């Protein structure tokens, strides 16, 4: 019984630590949105709408505005996405600095 209480206490503490860290992970990446916009226009605009839009769209592939407006879109989620393989997308290999610029641009589109 005492062991069970200690385990529950450890899980609660771990959950509290992870919750506290998740707000840090959701912060925008250190990047230059203007450089990210230029990179998006160069690399992504042949398939995606990359410029700001008044409303999100439901196109496939999605616009950057639609991506930015998803509740799940964070700096971390974008970083993971940009550094993963994709079935229906070219696998661009870009540096962390360039991906941070792209992330900063996408996050700048988020509707408040």
Q: 18-27, 55-64, 69-78: which has the minimum mean pLDDT?
A: 18-27
- Mean pLDDT value of segment 7-30: 50
Residue 65 domain flag:
yes
Residues of the chain with pLDDT > 90: what percent? Answer: 51
Residue 21 domain flag:
no
Residue 85 domain flag:
yes
Residue 13 domain flag:
no
Chain-centroid distance, C-alpha 73 = 5
- What pLDDT, on the 0 to 100 scale, is given for residue 88? 84
Beta carbons within 10 angstroms of residue 99's beta carbon: 21
Domain that residue 41 falls in: 28-108
- What pLDDT, on the 0 to 100 scale, is given for residue 4? 52
Number of domains in the chain: 1
Residues 64, 65, 70: CA angle, nearest 5 degrees: 100
Average pLDDT of the chain, as a whole number: 80
pLDDT digits (tens, 9 = 90+) for 32-72: 999 999 999 999 999 999 998 887 777 789 999 999 999 99
Which one, of 26, 37, 43, lies nearest residue 79 by Cα? Answer: 26
pLDDT at 12 over 60: no
The whole-model pTM stands at 0.71
């Amino acid at each position: 019984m005492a062991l069970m209480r200690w385990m529950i206490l450890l899980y609660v503490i771990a959950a509290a630590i992870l919750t506290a860290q998740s707000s840090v992970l959701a912060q925008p990446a250190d990047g230059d949105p203007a450089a990210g916009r230029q990179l998006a226009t160069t690399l992504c605009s042949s398939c995606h709408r990359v410029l700001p839009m008044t409303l999100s769209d439901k196109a496939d592939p999605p616009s950057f505005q639609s991506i930015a407006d998803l509740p799940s879109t964070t700096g971390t989620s974008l970083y993971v996405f940009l550094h993963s393989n994709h079935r229906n997308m070219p696998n661009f290999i870009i540096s962390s600095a360039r991906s941070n610029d792209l992330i900063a641009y996408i996050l700048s589109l988020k509707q408040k």
